[in-house]
Structure 1
Amino acid sequence: MTDPLAPFDQHRRLLFTVAYQMLGSVADAEDVVQDAWLRWSAADRSDVRDDRAYLVQITTRLALDRLDSARARRESYVGPWLPEPLMTHGSPVAAGPPAPEPEDAAELGERVSLALLVVLETLTPAERAVFVLREVFGMPLREVADALGRTEAAVRQMAHRAREHVHARQPRFDTDRREQREVTERFLAAAVSGNVESLLAAMAPGVVLIADGGGRVRAALRPIVGADKVARFLAAVGPQGGDIPGLRVGLAEINGAPAVVAWTDAGPYMALQLVLADGLVEQVLYVANPDKLAGLSLP
């Protein structure tokens, strides 16, 4: 008798990544994968010709259902909303799929980068699903159409709109991991010491800082725009970390790129990631909402 777990386990990481791309939440993606397993185990699979396509279809539709309710909740969210950080190397994701090996971490990072997920939030749910399946994972048009219950012509139009929308809004970012780490280390040192000049030297003139506290902790309620404003904000709050009992700060790999993480004896405290272009910081993405940090496994 065929083991029903075998094909599901084979595609589990793909299903998790599709759900995470759709929802921007580790916890919600894990719930979707669990629900997909329940659907898979209860289904009559005698007519299933392509396990992968069938499982992606289930996962996509479950994620779309959850995305509608998630968007409704975000209308009352306090301050900017950022995706939930995903630990991609060095430490396992709690209750999730195993962290990728170093050789495929870069590929996974491009698929789940925080910068891309921020842009995907501006798409409609259907456009987001089409972009994730078609552009990110390169799935055939027919599979995407089947997953969404749309015609191939409709999916082709949505893919075109979504691609143009994302390309117009996604920041150009460097993928040299060594440079990313070096800039992140310098940025961290400058922020902790409150060195405004060093911070200014690391940032592009139009840099934007987005802080997500979710009303749970103190954070900027609107994006901070401009190198001078961002530098002075960070120089003011960075040295205050010394007043937080037991606070430790270090580097980790989050969403396929270096990031600054901080934690106390009580657990994760914050995660900060930089988006670079031409060696300069264009975005500072700062997640401090404790509800979004529970999945991080820290040193």
Structure 2
Amino acid sequence: MSSPSEPEPSVIAGERRHLTNLAYRLLGSLTEAEDAVQEGYARWYALPGPRRAAVESPGAWLTTVVSRVCLDVLGSARVRRERYVGQWIPEPLPDRAEWPGSPGPAADPADRVTLDDSVHMAFLVVLEAMTPAERVAFILHDVFRYPFPEIARIVGRTPAACRQLAASARRRVAKASAPATPGPRQASVLREFKEAWQSSDIETLVGLLDPGATMVADGGGLVGAVRRPVEGGAAIAAYLTHIAALSPGLTLLERTVNGRPGLVAQRDGATVTVAAFQLTEGRITHIWAVRNPLKLHPWTALTPHPAPPQPGTGS
């Protein structure tokens, strides 16, 4: 009987898109997701050839390893984020059409991350409130449809415990969920918001913001950013007009941020802020403004070309 042969390198490389999608959702950071996937591949190629040949499903093996790496990272991330300067916001992603070098082969990590409802900023923020085990069990089961016995082997718990973890996480998501405003309406509101911000029209800004809206900014201690959430539509409008007065020459671009309409601020062609929004019943309820330059690498090559027309906006 002939011994099993190693899988083709193309088969192993073909798992990268799935692994990057998984790791980004688990960690909320493209940089950390890349590192986790690279660690998974390093461990695969560190196996002796006969061991690799004996693995029945390399994809399942890599998923298990990368998930466990992410679980370890999530545990240490809680300690690191306690020392983080100011608020920590997940790393924003542009639409793949905006990724440097696009269109072209899917050689960049962002080209491998599917922008769906499981990566929009509000969802990622809810995931941050979960325990590492909750997050892994929930993402693997509810997003990637892995069965609980398989998840149990990954996280080192029983299937029943994993089922409870996923259920607890699901309750967190349901509690934080709000009725989604249709995409075209979101784009229209943000266009009005951008124009009002540029013209320092406080009255219009207040009208577009929910009275109980919250704005959070992430500068990471590397650039100026408000360190506490700004609460209330009127307070946010006043803060934004104050910032506009202090920062003349900013260019605001309408862009897709984590699969939803958002805004990008540039100065002298360099991206300085990426803002993600949550809208409920046509009004802005949350703003997440990422200013930490370490989280803006995917946005550095953006140019201020006109945003494409949005369906239903009449433009």
Does TM, normalized by the shorter one, top 0.5? yes
- Contact kept in structure 1, 2:87 and 2:216, CA below 8 Å: yes
Match of 1:96 among 108, 111, 120: 108
Match of 2:282 among 265, 279, 284: 279
Deviation at 1:277, TM superposition (A): 1.2
What secondary structure sits across from 2:145 in the alignment?
Answer: coil
- Alignment match, 1:37: 41
- Alignment match, 2:242: 236
TM-score (normalizing by structure 2): 0.85
- Alignment match, 2:151: 144
Distance 1:47 1:153, change over 3 A: farther
Is structure 2 residue 265 aligned with structure 1 residue 262? yes
- Contact kept in structure 2, 1:89 and 1:254, CA below 8 Å: no
Provide the C-alpha distance between the structure 1 equivalents of 2:100 and 2:68, rounded to a whole number of angstroms.
24
AA aligned to 2:32 is: D
74-83 or 247-256: bigger deviation: 247-256
Provide the C-alpha distance between the structure 2 equivalents of 1:3 and 1:241, rounded to a whole number of angstroms.
55
Distance 1:149 1:136, change over 3 A: same
Deviation at 1:193, TM superposition (A): 1.3
% identity of equivalent residues: 37
AA aligned to 2:282 is: G
108-117 or 44-53: bigger deviation: 44-53
Deviation at 1:210, TM superposition (A): 0.8
Deviation at 1:279, TM superposition (A): 1.1
Deviation at 1:288, TM superposition (A): 0.7
AA aligned to 2:280 is: A
AA aligned to 2:109 is: P
Task: Show CA shifts across 1:39-86 (max 9, x none).
Answer: 122232233223332221111011111222222111111111101111
Distance 1:236 1:265, change over 3 A: closer
Provide the C-alpha distance between the structure 1 equivalents of 2:117 and 2:9, rounded to a whole number of angstroms.
29
Provide the C-alpha distance between the structure 1 equivalents of 2:135 and 2:237, rounded to a whole number of angstroms.
34
What secondary structure sits across from 2:130 in the alignment?
Answer: coil
Provide the C-alpha distance between the structure 2 equivalents of 1:182 and 1:129, rounded to a whole number of angstroms.
35
What secondary structure sits across from 2:248 in the alignment?
Answer: helix
Q: How does 1:14-93 map to 2 (within 5 A)?
A: 14-43=18-47, 44-92=51-99
- Alignment match, 1:128: 135
Deviation at 1:234, TM superposition (A): 1.2
Deviation at 1:266, TM superposition (A): 7.2
- Contact kept in structure 2, 1:4 and 1:41, CA below 8 Å: no
176-185 or 78-87: bigger deviation: 176-185
Provide the C-alpha distance between the structure 2 equivalents of 1:196 and 1:173, rounded to a whole number of angstroms.
25
Q: CA RMSD in A?
A: 2.1
Deviation at 1:136, TM superposition (A): 1.7
Task: Show CA shifts across 1:12-59 (max 9, x none).
Answer: 122111111111111111111111111122232233223332221111
Larger radius of gyration: 2
Provide the C-alpha distance between the structure 2 equivalents of 1:93 and 1:51, rounded to a whole number of angstroms.
31
The gaps in structure 1 that reach 5 residues or longer are none
90-99 or 16-25: bigger deviation: 90-99
The gaps in structure 2 that reach 5 residues or longer are 102-106, 304-315
Provide the C-alpha distance between the structure 1 equivalents of 2:155 and 2:68, rounded to a whole number of angstroms.
7
Match of 1:221 among 178, 203, 227: 227
275-284 or 65-74: bigger deviation: 65-74
TM-score (normalizing by structure 1): 0.90
- Contact kept in structure 1, 2:278 and 2:286, CA below 8 Å: yes
